[in-house]
Homo-oligomer: A and B are copies of this chain.
Amino acid sequence: MDKQENNPKYEALVKTARELFWRHGFKRVSVQEICMKAEVSKMTFYKFFSNKTELAKQVFSNEVDDSIVKFNRLIDEDISVHDKIEKMILLKAEGTNNISKEFMQDFYMGSEPELKTFVEAKTREAWTGMLHSWKKAQQAGIFRDDLKPEFLIQVSFGLVELMKDEKLAGLFSSPQELILEFTKFIAYGITPRT
């Protein structure tokens, strides 16, 4: 239970667990399997984590924290609004792949109320963090003052889903081109009126 984050065994466990959870969700993966793939004995596993749920929390927590860091860094980055939007879409596209359906389904639907509350709390935390960055950028005049951040975030999420539409993708010769088109579309709609 000691938080020896720099311990190689600890890191191996978290890394392996992330991969397995990502692929197969929570309940399909056993601690035995995690230990085997991470080449760590089961005893040392229980030195670090009191149970599988605790490990899952850690994995999810890391994932969310990474997203927040990336998002904040993106907001603060000294690039054009156009590039910012493009990167935001890419970040979200990457994020949806990171946190897999299988994983979230087990967290929410699974018979583990403890995990559900944890995920909800962590998600709230992530949102407030991102909104803070957003408002800072808004004050700096990067986005329109009257634009609700929740709106753009939701729209950009929706666009990621749209990008998976085959018919739409068929109109462009490459994904990059499609993203470029999206980016233009958004950027010209939200830049502050000078």
- What's the minimum C-beta distance from A178 to chain B, rounded to whole angstroms? 11
Considering the chains assembled together, what is the distance between the CA atoms of A148 and B28 in angstroms? Answer: 44
A105 to chain B, nearest CB (A): 12
Q: Which chain B positions have C-beta within 8 A of A28?
A: 24, 28
Task: Report Cα–Cα, A23/B22, bound state, in Å.
Answer: 12
Q: Is the interface of A mostly helix, strand, loop or mixed?
A: helix
Cβ of A173 < 8 Å from any Cβ of B?
yes
Nearest chain-B residue to A25 (Cβ)? B24
* Residue of B with least CB distance to A172: B174
Contact partner, A173, options B23, B24, B102, B174, Cβ 8 Å: B174
Query: Interface size of A by Cβ–Cβ distance < 8 Å?
Result: 7
Residues of B near A174 (CB, < 8 A) are: 173-174
CA A174 to CA B175, docked complex, whole Å? 8
Q: How far is the CA of A43 from the CA of B111 in the complex (A)?
A: 25
Q: Closest B residue to A174 by CB, please name it.
A: B174
Docked pose: A24 CA to B23 CA in angstroms: 8
Please give me the residue from chain B that is nearest to A27 by CB atom: B28
Contact residues in B for A24 (Cβ distance below 8 Å): 23-24, 28
Selected A-B contacts with CB under 8 Å, 9 pairs:
A23-B24, A23-B102, A24-B24, A24-B28, A28-B28, A173-B173, A173-B174, A173-B176, A174-B174
